[in-house]
Chain A
Amino acid sequence: MKKSIKLIIWALVTLPLGAQVLSAQQKNTSTGVALVDSLKHKEEGPLLNIPDVENVKAQGRVDGSTLYKTPAANITNTLFGQLPGLTVLQRSGEPGYDGASLYIRGLGTYDNSSLAIYVDGFQTTSSYFQYISPAEIESISILKDAAALASFGMKGANGVIWVVTKRGQIGKPKVEVNIVSGLQQAMNIDKPLGAYDYARLYNEAISNDNYSLNGYQFVWTPKYNNQQLQSYQNGTGTNINWFDQVLRKNAPYKDANINFNGGNVTARYTVILDYMNQGGLYDVSNTASTSNAQIQRFNIRTNLDLNFFKIFEANIDIGGRIEDRRYPNYNGPQLWQDLATYPSNIYPVRDSTGHWSGTSLYPNNPVASLHGLGWLGTHDRTLQANFGLKEKLDFITPGLYLKEAASFNTWTRNALSFSSTYARYYEGMQSTTDQQTTIVANGSSPVDQYDWKQSTIKAGYDRNFGENNISAAIEYLASSYITDYSTNNPGLNTGNNIFYHYENLGSELHYSYRARYLLDLSAGYSGSDNYAPGNRWKAYPAIGAGWIVSEESFLKSSIVSFLKLRGSVGLSGNDQTNNGRYLYQQYFTQNGTYYTGDNGLTSNTGVVQSYIANPSITAEKSLKYDAGFDMTLFKKLSVTGDVFLDKRSGIVTNSNDLLATFGGSQPYLNIGRVTNKGFEVSGQYADNAGKLNYTIGASASFAKNIINYQSEIPTVNAFSKTTGLPIGTPMGLVSLGFYNTTDFNSNGTLKAGEPVPAFGAVQPGDIKYKDLDGNGKIDQNDITPIGKSPFPTLTYTFNGALNYNGFDVSVLFQGASGNSVNLLSAAYYQTVAFANNINVYPMAENAWAYYPSQGIDTRATATYPRLSTQANSNNYQASTFWMRSGDYLRVRNAEFGYTFSPAILKKINTESLRIYVSAINPLMWSYLSKHYHIDPETTSGYPALKSYNLGFSLKF
């Protein structure tokens, strides 16, 4: 460490001297020595400001104004399809908790794959990022390859999202006002069958259950008689559609922001104020005792840039906000489970006496859960304040500068709740011991918080020496993070109030010759507090090179207006692991009690080592290779492509390699390995036909990974191994269809030669599995991969936009494929029928059944195993039977707008006014939604949302 510092200081001091020598030699080339003034037409990159033309890194960027086109409460939901290489997976649409998961270049590790997010140069948390308003954002970039990520050291392996907020522009003060208002609806709600179908299928199920008691014959023994079935059909029986009772069709969404921007050479400012309000789909209003789901946020951002005393440049960036969330005081996921599982005929919403209905078997009446239990709210305050001061040290040597910066990022959350409970009545009588209570305020209490302080010192050098351009920078970062609430971070030893400290020395040198040969050397040297002294510091170097072929004389053509080939290789690291911290420290734990004594037992507790400590535990390492090109054809079509390979090693894994003779809990070692490879390609074509301007574009990203080593416990059969398969590959049995009546003897046993399943007794109509190892038994040793990983391998987009005479139309399609959905794990309550007193869904209508006396015979055409009212352990095993393709294609947004002509606007002193209507997620094509009404991304729980919005944008 000390040696490298000395080297760097030596370089810093001698480089200017060397440069002066060089420049003296090149004086006759007439370019002289000139400062590279990078601030004006480039954005701040992580370390250096390099024009896009000279960039050798794999990056993607999207402007904040593009993101703003998708009115969504959570910024992660605006990122679909915008950045090639960024996979966005949404899991819920619940207001305040609808953050999508973000992955750069697929999954590279089976451990912690979360990426690092930097806002204005400092790392921040995902929760801070999610509720930044797109109005505050200038651009979001993703950094994908080693050349870009090496300088981030141990934070870079999973990719980095680099967010830059708007900065003040020199010019007269400008004000921009944007208002959008819309209605949000659930994209897809899979509703269960009504009371009539429930009852008639229940009769089938209970008759199936009595098969063995009826001497292994199918005898019709219904629970609901014809009279009851009639009453459900004609409406006199209880038939409640719980989804219709609980949910409303439309939920409101509003967002308004105002942006003040202006300044001069000395001071530039931008002030952004934003208010957003998103309501939820629950059909209950916000009163003193009840609440819909809702989030409101108030953002304020002030970014100031100051120049003074000729050499100082300062920036003050303060972004803060308040988030207020409200919910019914009943756990959201549990409410959606009740909606899915409570049958329609159990009781009316209110019983005959006007009280809320409920029984001991179904105690949580979904409507009453919203109205009768009170509500809770959380109040979040968060702030990120960055201060930077840059000194241009041109008086020492031209091009040298120094910058110091500090960042304070804090967040705190308070919760307050009002609770009450209600008595459950059934047919006029109280059915449980709950009593009606009035609403009680529980007061406000702090729930969680974090505090993050970071500071950097950076020295840089930008200089041109004739045809040689050099940009170099080295930056030292110290970061201190502390949080409450141990479940914030997964793994061992992450108790309350432990500090997370991190230091990083990132450096980059960019050299370009004749603006056509490019070289980029970067390195990160990180120290993390997770590891023992001696294993904390690791170096991550990278090298990138590029060649702007179009500048060469042999490729001067009118077709290829720009062609750059580039590649990079290097290392980066990941110090975040789901297994926990301080895995080098040996801890002890109680292993049980032994009793002694004759007249009264004495308990004697034993203490043994817990998992064995690994003194040499260190960060995960990623070796990334990338090759790519950027091309512009005909000056209208731009194409970018990248191919990458990421070899991840040293993944922290709980070892299984030691034999049982070891006798202890095995340690966590850096032994896991994953290989991830893929490509990204994107193209955009912009042209005009007269006054009609149009652009069309498409992109595709593909990433596939394989687990090379994970210390897997050896399986009985080779085909049951998960090593060698992609991360998350589902494992299960292979299904061969259904058992037929001819597979059984008259006493209910399987005929000789049929493999015997180990999961329980089977009867005709149950799923028949394949005995893969051929030992005559179907058991856990016959499991094998049954589908693809739930993580899509391919994501693709198509976009198009037209602009004519003030009218503009744009549309964005986004799709994903290459993933499988296991219906049993993704949508269990919509798949399994009746077991444990739950409801039944249309999927089960075509179940296997054979009751010739009732005219029921689906033996040849069934698509669902025989119904049962009991928990059936044979049919609901993970198997190929329940795997479905998770592919989808959506229209993510479609917008139609009109920009008033400047002539009209001048009269009212406005610079521009645009009004627009947009639709978010209006259309979708997917196998799951077509056949099962299940959304492929949010398969259960609070659904993802589509919305229809109207907005305007005013600048003056």
Chain B
Amino acid sequence: MKRTKTYTTLFFAGLLAAGATGCKKTFLDTKIDTSPTAQTLNSNYSTLYSYGNAPYVYLRNEFTLIDNNLFAPVSDEAKQTALSSTVMLFNNGSWNASNNPDNYYANYYSGIRAANFFLENSGNYKSFLALNRDTISVTGKISYNNDVLNIAWYRGEAHILRAWYYFELAKRYGGVPLVTKTLSISDNTNIPKASYNDIINFVTSEVDNFKDSLQVNWQTSSFTNNDGRLSKGAALALKARALLFAASPLHNTAGDVKLWQNAASALNDLIVFGEGAGQFALDGDYRNYFLLNNTLTSAETIWAIRYPASNLLEEENYPITTLGGASGITPSQNLVDDYEYASTPDPTNPYANRDPRLAYSIVTNNSTWNGRVINEAPGGTDDMTKSNTSRTGYYLKKFLNDNINIIQGQADVHNFPIFRYGEVLLEYAEAMNEAYGPDNANGYGLSARQSLNMVRSRPGVQMPAVTVSDQTSFRAAVKHERRIELAFEDYRYWDLLRWKDAATVLNQPIKGVTVSENTSGQFTYGTTVVENRVFDHSKMYYYPFPLTEISKSKGILIQNIGW
């Protein structure tokens, strides 16, 4: 009996032990993955494409940068009609570290992370692409080789995209922290900022090292449906722009002419490339270049970003008197005044005989738009006393398709050219002038004057050549040409900043035109001040780092001066 008792004790004790220890390993493993994991992704070679596309997603939509519209009203080019717009914070100088309408800081670093991640995870792409697929048969082999080429290009593009994001950060903030690997949660993210020159050097070295890993020209390749990804031309254009910005007075405080020479050299490389494999050529139709698919097929485009059909831009910027319109961005008299006269001025019509680009970019009084003649005189269809009509007397035309029926949901595509040949020529003219003077080509194919006049003599524009001979006057001519040629393309604000002209120009009030009709039906025009602008040159040449970043950083990340 006693033995039975002992055995029973031991039996129950054993049961207890078994029950407690036996099932532990598998009983608590209940996880079922309903989202992709590294494991599921690593079993499919198309994952590399997904990783490769990820950095592209963070490119900004230039059509919706501020108030769901173009960036133009930040500068003296235009005024936003809406009463409670966020761009007002820029215009009245009340933006600051905790309230910055253009706060994309964290998203740029997300783009940089996506690029780092892709580069680190695609090192063995050739063997990864061969995973679980037929690489032997004829079609299989072709498909495999195409994928190898594609991923190789994607890898080059990731370098350039990362460089592009750093350039965009430096353009706004000056020196920023430089991150070149994917950070994990145990890494130190509180990195001090690198200097502006370090960032620019990084950009140029990335381009130099990887420009030859890129597709030369998508449109002439056998992968035309990949057009929109970075190409060698885009990479060279990025390097050139970065060097130009670095040479500009804001960053080149010593006025070192060597920096201008570097920029000129990079621009020359780009133009030489364009004359060869790049096949760059100025478009013959300034008005239509910016519309529909023309931007994509034109030889002027070096890199453009595509968007599906939408009428958002028209909805924002058509006159309020057009059904569905909201007036939106309205060009300023300041900009209109700068369009040159092509021939003798007409006293009755200030918009006649002007640089054709005025009519191509801006809707003026007594012109045809949205199927009617714009009449802004009292009693006219676009009477400026009606609420929410343009306060400046002008409406945006560039980028906008005419006669879109917004109410019925008619929509068309819009594409934004990030790099185009016309802008490259103007950069070249600026750099060459600063480096060597207006007429010294320094052995390159074009002199500053030649490239400037190429832009002016575009078919459909055909403005007379610039003849001023000294560097200072030529510099003014180049600046003027950039203002006219590149209106509304998100260059003006950054040009004013890098030339250090913002302190004078961006404090000027925005002017508009007043329209009245005299008894004989003729329009008479006057000027009016629409609003005052504020620009504090002691700090606003650089964006402030977001206040949350400065607070979290506790002294490592130093805020930009004055903020």
Which residues of A sit under 8 angstroms from B52, Cβ to Cβ? 606
Shortest B188–chain A CB gap in Å is 9
Whether the Cβ atoms of B190 and A601 lie closer than 8 Å is: no
Whether the Cβ atoms of A587 and B33 lie closer than 8 Å is: yes
A779 on the interface (CB 8 Å rule)?
yes
Q: Known contacts being A529-B28, A659-B552, A781-B98, is A594 close to B228, with CB within 8 Å?
A: yes
Whether the Cβ atoms of A660 and B547 lie closer than 8 Å is: no
Whether the Cβ atoms of B557 and A659 lie closer than 8 Å is: yes
Interface residues of B in 289-347 (CB under 8 A from A): 293, 296-297, 305-308
Whether the Cβ atoms of B306 and A714 lie closer than 8 Å is: no
Q: Known contacts being A5-B21, A586-B37, is A662 close to B189, with CB within 8 Å?
A: yes
Which residues of B sit under 8 angstroms from A760, Cβ to Cβ? 84
User: Which stretch, B10-18, B348-356, B526-534, touches the partner chain A?
Assistant: B10-18
Which residues of B sit under 8 angstroms from A581, Cβ to Cβ? 31
Whether the Cβ atoms of A596 and B50 lie closer than 8 Å is: no
**Which A residue sits closest to B413, measured CB to CB?**
A601
B185 on the interface (CB 8 Å rule)?
yes
A588 on the interface (CB 8 Å rule)?
yes
Q: Secondary structure of the B side of the interface? A: helix
Contact with A along B1-29 (1 / 0, CB 8 A): 00001101100110111011101110111
Q: Kindly state the separation between the CA atoms of A606 and B154 in the bound complex, as whole angstroms.
A: 12
Number of interface residues of A (CB under 8 A): 79
Which residues of B sit under 8 angstroms from A9, Cβ to Cβ? 13, 16-17
A536 on the interface (CB 8 Å rule)?
yes
B426 on the interface (CB 8 Å rule)?
no
From B30, B58, B191, B551, name the one whose CB has the most chain A CB atoms within 10 angstroms: B30
Whether the Cβ atoms of A501 and B5 lie closer than 8 Å is: no
User: Which residue of B13, B37, B297 is within 8 Å of A587 (Cβ)?
Assistant: B37
User: Which stretch, B218-226, B246-254, B487-495, touches the partner chain A?
Assistant: B218-226
A713 on the interface (CB 8 Å rule)?
yes
User: Which stretch, A91-99, A607-615, A900-908, A947-955, touches the partner chain B?
Assistant: A607-615
Q: Kindly state the separation between the CA atoms of A951 and B57 in the bound complex, as whole angstroms.
A: 69
Q: Known contacts being A500-B30, A536-B28, A663-B112, is A2 close to B94, with CB within 8 Å?
A: no
Whether the Cβ atoms of A476 and B16 lie closer than 8 Å is: yes
Contact with A along B90-125 (1 / 0, CB 8 A): 000010001100000110011111101100000000
Whether the Cβ atoms of A714 and B551 lie closer than 8 Å is: yes
Shortest B11–chain A CB gap in Å is 10
A503 on the interface (CB 8 Å rule)?
yes
Q: Kindly state the separation between the CA atoms of A36 and B5 in the bound complex, as whole angstroms.
A: 21
Q: Kindly state the separation between the CA atoms of A657 and B106 in the bound complex, as whole angstroms.
A: 14
User: Which residue of B36, B179, B296, B547 is within 8 Å of A661 (Cβ)?
Assistant: B179
Shortest B53–chain A CB gap in Å is 4
Whether the Cβ atoms of A587 and B553 lie closer than 8 Å is: no
B35 on the interface (CB 8 Å rule)?
yes
B279 on the interface (CB 8 Å rule)?
no
Whether the Cβ atoms of A395 and B28 lie closer than 8 Å is: no
Q: Kindly state the separation between the CA atoms of A505 and B47 in the bound complex, as whole angstroms.
A: 44
Q: Known contacts being A529-B30, A608-B117, is A663 close to B183, with CB within 8 Å?
A: yes
Whether the Cβ atoms of A660 and B546 lie closer than 8 Å is: yes
Whether the Cβ atoms of B53 and A594 lie closer than 8 Å is: yes
A592 on the interface (CB 8 Å rule)?
yes
A370 on the interface (CB 8 Å rule)?
no
Whether the Cβ atoms of A396 and B225 lie closer than 8 Å is: no
**Which B residue sits closest to A455, measured CB to CB?**
B19
Shortest B164–chain A CB gap in Å is 13
Shortest B365–chain A CB gap in Å is 27
B41 on the interface (CB 8 Å rule)?
yes
Q: Known contacts being A662-B113, A714-B552, is A596 close to B36, with CB within 8 Å?
A: no
Shortest A22–chain B CB gap in Å is 19
**Which B residue sits closest to A776, measured CB to CB?**
B94
Q: Kindly state the separation between the CA atoms of A664 and B115 in the bound complex, as whole angstroms.
A: 12
Which residues of A sit under 8 angstroms from B563, Cβ to Cβ? none
User: Which residue of B12, B13, B54 is within 8 Å of A608 (Cβ)?
Assistant: B54
Whether the Cβ atoms of A661 and B109 lie closer than 8 Å is: yes
Q: Kindly state the separation between the CA atoms of A602 and B226 in the bound complex, as whole angstroms.
A: 8
Which residues of B sit under 8 angstroms from A663, Cβ to Cβ? 106, 109-114, 116, 179, 183
B177 on the interface (CB 8 Å rule)?
yes
B522 on the interface (CB 8 Å rule)?
no
Which residues of B sit under 8 angstroms from A1, Cβ to Cβ? 20-21, 24
**Which A residue sits closest to B187, measured CB to CB?**
A662
Shortest A659–chain B CB gap in Å is 4
Q: Kindly state the separation between the CA atoms of A529 and B41 in the bound complex, as whole angstroms.
A: 24
A605 on the interface (CB 8 Å rule)?
yes
A604 on the interface (CB 8 Å rule)?
yes
Q: Kindly state the separation between the CA atoms of A667 and B184 in the bound complex, as whole angstroms.
A: 10
Q: Kindly state the separation between the CA atoms of A663 and B118 in the bound complex, as whole angstroms.
A: 14
**Which B residue sits closest to A502, measured CB to CB?**
B28
Which residues of B sit under 8 angstroms from A602, Cβ to Cβ? 225-226
B51 on the interface (CB 8 Å rule)?
yes
Whether the Cβ atoms of A659 and B185 lie closer than 8 Å is: no
Whether the Cβ atoms of A659 and B553 lie closer than 8 Å is: yes
Contact with B along A658-686 (1 / 0, CB 8 A): 11111110110000000000000000000
Shortest B450–chain A CB gap in Å is 31
Whether the Cβ atoms of B35 and A606 lie closer than 8 Å is: no
Which residues of B sit under 8 angstroms from A660, Cβ to Cβ? 105-106, 109, 546, 549
A402 on the interface (CB 8 Å rule)?
yes
A585 on the interface (CB 8 Å rule)?
yes
User: Which residue of B16, B27, B58, B183 is within 8 Å of A478 (Cβ)?
Assistant: B27
Whether the Cβ atoms of A606 and B57 lie closer than 8 Å is: yes
A235 on the interface (CB 8 Å rule)?
no
Which residues of B sit under 8 angstroms from A529, Cβ to Cβ? 28-31
B138 on the interface (CB 8 Å rule)?
no
**Which A residue sits closest to B219, measured CB to CB?**
A598
Whether the Cβ atoms of B306 and A601 lie closer than 8 Å is: yes
Which residues of B sit under 8 angstroms from A716, Cβ to Cβ? 98, 547
Q: Kindly state the separation between the CA atoms of A595 and B183 in the bound complex, as whole angstroms.
A: 28
Q: Kindly state the separation between the CA atoms of A478 and B106 in the bound complex, as whole angstroms.
A: 46
Q: Known contacts being A595-B308, A598-B227, is A713 close to B32, with CB within 8 Å?
A: no
Which residues of A sit under 8 angstroms from B55, Cβ to Cβ? 606
B136 on the interface (CB 8 Å rule)?
no
Shortest A91–chain B CB gap in Å is 32
Whether the Cβ atoms of B51 and A606 lie closer than 8 Å is: yes
Q: Known contacts being A593-B57, A714-B551, is A396 close to B8, with CB within 8 Å?
A: yes
User: Which stretch, A192-200, A491-499, A732-740, touches the partner chain B?
Assistant: A491-499
From A582, A602, A606, name the one whose CB has the most chain B CB atoms within 10 angstroms: A606
Whether the Cβ atoms of A606 and B54 lie closer than 8 Å is: yes
Whether the Cβ atoms of A503 and B228 lie closer than 8 Å is: no
A270 on the interface (CB 8 Å rule)?
no
Which residues of B sit under 8 angstroms from A594, Cβ to Cβ? 53, 56-57, 59, 228
Which residues of A sit under 8 angstroms from B16, Cβ to Cβ? 5, 9, 457, 459, 476
Chain B residues proximal to chain A, CB less than 8 Å: 5-6, 8-9, 12-13, 15-17, 19-21, 23-25, 27-38, 41, 47, 49-59, 83-84, 94, 98-99, 105-106, 109-114, 116-117, 177, 179, 183-185, 189-191, 219, 224-229, 293, 296-297, 305-308, 413, 546-549, 551-553, 557
Question: Beyond A596-B225, A781-B98: 18 further Cβ-contacts under 8 Å?
Answer: A9-B17, A12-B13, A402-B12, A476-B20, A501-B30, A529-B31, A533-B25, A587-B35, A594-B59, A595-B228, A595-B308, A596-B226, A597-B225, A598-B219, A658-B185, A663-B110, A713-B548, A779-B99
17 contacts between A and B (CB under 8 A): A459-B12, A503-B24, A505-B20, A529-B29, A587-B36, A591-B57, A597-B306, A598-B225, A606-B55, A607-B50, A608-B114, A660-B106, A662-B189, A663-B106, A714-B551, A760-B84, A777-B94
Q: Which 10 A-B pairs have the closest CB atoms?
A: A663-B113, A606-B54, A714-B551, A592-B57, A596-B228, A607-B50, A594-B56, A660-B106, A606-B53, A663-B109
Chain A residues proximal to chain B, CB less than 8 Å: 1-2, 5-6, 9, 12-13, 393, 395-396, 402, 457, 459, 476, 478, 493, 495, 497-503, 505, 527-529, 533, 536, 581-582, 585-602, 604-610, 612, 614, 655-664, 666-667, 713-714, 716, 760-761, 777, 779, 781
